[in-house]
């Protein structure tokens, strides 16, 4: 069994806070693992349960809703 499991995590980032926070993390060069695939949304409230389930069904190893 492979020990190098690389999860793919779908991240929904609110444009006004989490996405901006992600930008600042970049400016500050704060390092984190490259497994998250960021999707910008205009509010975390825009992310429906259906969308989360859809991501998991399509094979996402995790979903993060950040807002």
Q: What does the binding site for another protein look like in residue numbers (CB under 8 A)?
A: 6, 8, 10, 15, 19-20, 22-34, 37-43, 45-51, 54-55, 58-60
Buried b (16+ CB within 10 A) or exposed e, 23-41: eeeeeeeeeeeeebeeeeb
CB of 53 to another protein, least distance (A): 11
CB of 20 to another protein, least distance (A): 6
CB of 1 to another protein, least distance (A): 20
Catalogue the E-assigned strands of 1-67. 9-14, 36-41, 62-66
Question: Measured from the CB atom, is 3 or 48 closer to another protein?
Answer: 48
């Amino acid at each position: 069994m492979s020990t190098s499991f690389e999860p793919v995590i779908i991240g929904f980032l609110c444009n006004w806070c989490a996405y901006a926070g992600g930008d600042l993390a970049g400016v500050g060069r704060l390092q984190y693992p490259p497994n998250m695939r960021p999707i910008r949304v205009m509010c975390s409230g825009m992310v429906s349960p259906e969308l989360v389930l859809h991501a998991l069904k399509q094979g996402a190893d995790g979903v993060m809703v950040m807002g």
